Amino acid sequence: MSLDSIKAYCKNPKNRSTVNVGLFIILIISFHYLYLGWQALDYWPVGKLVYNLMLWSVDLVYSQSCWVLDHIFRIDITTFSGSRLITAIDSKGGLARVVIAPECASLKQWMHWLFLMILFPGPWKHKLWYIPAGLVIIEWTNVVRICGILLMQIAWPDIHIHLFGNDINTFHLAHDYIFKLFFYLIIFLMWMLWVEKFYNPSLKAKQHE
């Protein structure tokens, strides 16, 4: 397939959905590997700034999660702010717990969203408010994730399943599968909303000019 035929395929309105999804996948995967490489370089040349932002964002999601568990779900939680640990008694009288490590902060997903939305085409007059709105949604999605991990342990403390060759307990099922997929589903849905409500209409408007 020649470069001209690829360009023609991408410009064909009938292929717009396929091209959009393909670009989304390319940007998501590209950021993942770029981030891993940058992480291996200790976030050079702004490593200190990134680590400070990471600590700030993990403290933010920790305090928000504690508030939601306490005031909305009315869970009797015990908190250890120094280690960012939240514990509660589960339904079997055991201990449910979640530690919010720096890697659990929203910073990587914020960067993911910025990378995706800055590079994906669309009208900047809408990007200027849609990107910050997405950052807020991502932050509260992370709060839902943290609370969900603890609540699953409280409600179903004895889950043990065999999945992909691994024995998985309640915590790992919630942390590694359910809420990780949920996190990226929210990002995907926000991107879809952008495409359907802002990007595609802007293309149609240009065609009628």
Q: How far apart are CA 63 and CA 54, in angstroms?
A: 14
Name the 3-class secondary structure at 121.
coil
Angle at the Cα of 21 from the Cα atoms of 17 and 22, rounded to 5 degrees:
115
Minimum mean pLDDT range among 131-145, 165-179, 194-208: 194-208
Establish if 2 belongs to a structural domain: no
In a domain, 7, yes or no: no
145 domain residue, yes or no: yes
Tell me the HSE value of 59 on the side-chain side, using a 13 A CA sphere: 8
Q: How many domains are contained in the chain?
A: 1
Residue 10 lies in a domain: no
pLDDT digits (tens, 9 = 90+) for 26-44: 999 999 999 999 999 999 9
What integer best gives the mean pLDDT of the chain? 92
- Give the pLDDT score at 208: 65
Residue numbers of the domain that contains 159? 16-207
Residue 98 lies in a domain: yes
Share of the chain above pLDDT 90, in %: 80
User: Model-level pTM?
Assistant: 0.92
In a domain? residue 38: yes
